[in-house]
Amino acid sequence: MSDDKISAVGINIAEKATMIWNVADMLRGPFKPHEYGLVILPMTVVKRFHDCLLPTHEKVREQYEKVKHLAVIDGFLTRASGYQFYNISKFTFETLLADPDNIETNFRDYLAGFSANAQDVLSKFDFDNIIKRMVESNTLYLVIKEFNSEKGYLGPDKISAVDCGYIFEDLVRRFSESFGEEAGAHFTSRDIIYLMTDLLLTNANLDAGGMTVYDMAMGTSQMLSCMEERIHDLNSDIEVTCFGQEFNPSTYAIAKADMMIRGGDPDNMRFGDTLSEDQFEGYTFDYCISNPPFGIDWKREQKKVEEEAARGEQGRFAAGLPKISDGQQLFVLNGLSKLAPDGKMAIIQNGSPLFSGDAGSGPSEIRRYILENDWLDCIVQLSTDMFMNTGISTYIWICSKNKPAYRDGKVQLIDASHCYEQRRKSIGTKRNDITDQCRELIVKAYGAYENCAIYGDKNGVYCESKIFETVEFGYKKIVVERPLRDENGKIVLKKGKPVADANLRDTENVPLVEDIDRYFEREVLPYAKDAWIDKKKTKVGYEIPMTRYFYEYQPPEKVEDIVERIHALEADIAASLDKLFAEEK
């Protein structure tokens, strides 16, 4: 996979994004480097709108004159524009530049001519204040001129919706990096997204009349556009409707703009915090694909989340609440609540949801809820260094509300930590890519559904599949008590029963598939004949120790080999020192 993306029409996406970003050259001084994106992102959106609407501009203006006296005119004007938005201003970028003395007034007139949905996009950029700063620094005319140049052209005849999505991604990444912000907070690379889409669509029913796709933390909506692209690659006749929510204003604005340009319903792109402001209550979807934040606390949303949890099964968080320092499992529960009866979800997580929390804790109860409902289908472990903002191992959870019969009561684990190719040039901490070959191996492993199977070259690029009964992840945490004894060594009794000694209390995790009493007789009583189980304190827990399941013992290096290696190093150092001293003489 090339580090540079070349579109179907031959444009280099990275080069196009660089040309647009270089508009920042004229912002130096009035704007600080971390502020360049405040100008470039909204101007890119405005110019994309402009170039899409330019061929029908006069037609829209003529239609507006005919219908402007009517109470409702949007339908007439969107039909005239050919998009879900329009602009009724008399100005274009060309005519704006023809009157430099009135550039601010005319540009504001142009922006005011956009339809309400486009106005909502621009409002999320706080663009009004940015225009004021450009006017004060005498850069507004220059910026408009640069965007109206050949290199700033963003029309759909030259740049497809998919290509434009790539450009937006690249610009957001540059802005995040210049702002000193972790770019990965808004950016998931396409190699990971395409793996997620292909896992979701394995064995999918592609004869359906329509499909709905939801992303609860959509960023610039590229997961949604990739999912739509993949579905249409398989069946171009399927109608795909995308829905998404995002709480970062600028990325939400880009997502909504992207949806408007692609011809979808912009009202399906909604603004707000998914955990505390669910914009899709009562909705269900065929697919959910998402990379929500992990390792982020939910203190800000705590009151609303706890209120939602108190609703029980009527809410999204009845299963339990994770620790306040990490809210990623809340997104999993939200996604599950949005799945249709035969829906399927792919969601990225770090390692914490696999094992954090003891039996009875919120994280364990959430795992229990998912596993006992038999909704967890597969977990794919990716390599380290796959994301721009973290080098840790990450996992794709595949959840399904309606598993095929042969997958019932089972969970597939795929270790794909060796299935990657190193990049020629890293982006942040992203040093590894999932190439087409890697993706094919992982998707093949998922589809083949074989236990203890290797796909690829065990000495190179490969992944490994294992299958477990769901119950194997469960355990009963038992409390083992020992009697309290007095100074004479006699057992202290209360109402004829031994008093438990808190200092001798211990716990044991008994596999869920094993009888507690038999385990106790075999593992405890031979070593503590006076012990007993306080069965009132027994709790059920679940964990998925993926690392342990795929652990392979590596014998230590032989002592003789170590000694030989040390001697060789000593000899090499001695030779270097002799050479150095000889040169000094």
**How do residues 121-179 score in pLDDT, each as one tens digit?**
999 998 999 999 999 999 999 999 999 998 889 999 888 877 887 788 778 777 766 65
The mean pLDDT value of the chain amounts to: 90
The count of residues in the chain is 585
**Token pair of 336, please?**
């599950």
Q: What is the number of other CB atoms lying within 10 angstroms of the CB of residue 451?
A: 11
Give the contacts of 90 (CB within 8 A, at least 6 positions apart): 61, 109, 113
**Token pair of 31, please?**
């704007």
pLDDT in tens, 426-447: 777 788 999 999 999 999 999 9
Q: Looking at residue 161, what is its pLDDT?
A: 77
Q: Looking at residue 179, what is its pLDDT?
A: 55
pLDDT at 185 over 80: no
pLDDT at 208 over 90: no
3-state class (DSSP) for residue 203? coil
Q: Under the phi-then-psi rule, with left for phi > 0, alpha for psi from -120 to 50, and beta for the rest, what region is 428?
A: left
Separation of alpha carbons 127 and 254, rounded Å: 13
pLDDT at 217 over 50: yes
Q: Looking at residue 558, what is its pLDDT?
A: 82
Separation of alpha carbons 96 and 244, rounded Å: 35
Determine what percent of the chain is predicted with pLDDT higher than 90: 70
Q: Looking at residue 275, what is its pLDDT?
A: 97
Task: Give me the helices (H) in 339-483, please.
Answer: 352-355, 362-372, 436-448
pLDDT at 268 over 60: yes
Mean pLDDT of 218-238: 91
Separation of alpha carbons 293 and 284, rounded Å: 22
C-alpha distances out from residue 509 to 179, 210, 256, 368, 371, Å: 48, 47, 50, 15, 18
Q: Looking at residue 429, what is its pLDDT?
A: 78
Q: Which tops the pLDDT comparison, 263 or 302?
A: 302
**Token pair of 117, please?**
């949905």
pLDDT in tens, 284-315: 999 999 999 887 899 999 999 999 999 999 99
What CATH superfamily classification does 183-472 receive? Vaccinia Virus protein VP39 (3.40.50.150)
pLDDT at 182 over 90: no
Report whether 386 contacts 430 (CB < 8 A). Answer: yes
Residue 401 pLDDT grade (very low, low, confident, very high; cuts 50, 70, 90): very high
Mean pLDDT of 226-237: 92
Mean pLDDT of 187-194: 85
Find tokens 């060789």 and name the residue: 568
pLDDT in tens, 562-582: 888 898 898 889 888 887 777
Separation of alpha carbons 121 and 93, rounded Å: 19
Find tokens 């390599």 and name the residue: 383
Q: Looking at residue 12, what is its pLDDT?
A: 64
**Start-to-end Cα distance in the chain:** 54
Least confident range from 203-212, 275-284, 367-376, 476-485: namely 203-212
**Token pair of 206, please?**
């592609």
Instruction: Provide DSSP, 394-441.
Output: -EEEEEESS--GGGTTEEEEEE-TT--EEEEEEETTEEEE--HHHHHH
Q: Looking at residue 178, what is its pLDDT?
A: 61
Residues linked to residue 376 through DSSP beta bridges, in sequence order: 399
pLDDT at 560 over 90: no
Q: Looking at residue 1, what is its pLDDT?
A: 39
pLDDT in tens, 503-557: 999 999 999 999 999 999 999 999 999 999 999 999 999 999 999 999 887 788 8
Q: Looking at residue 126, what is its pLDDT?
A: 87
Report whether 298 contacts 332 (CB < 8 A). Answer: no
pLDDT in tens, 307-358: 999 999 999 999 999 999 999 999 999 999 999 999 999 999 999 999 999 9
**Identity (one letter) of the amino acid at 44?**
T
pLDDT in tens, 75-107: 999 999 999 999 999 999 999 999 999 999 999
Q: What is the 3-state secondary structure (H, E, C) of 149-200?
A: CHHHCCCCCCCCHHHHHHHHHHHHHHHHHHCCCCHHHCCCCHHHHHHHHHHH
pLDDT in tens, 39-57: 999 999 999 999 999 999 9
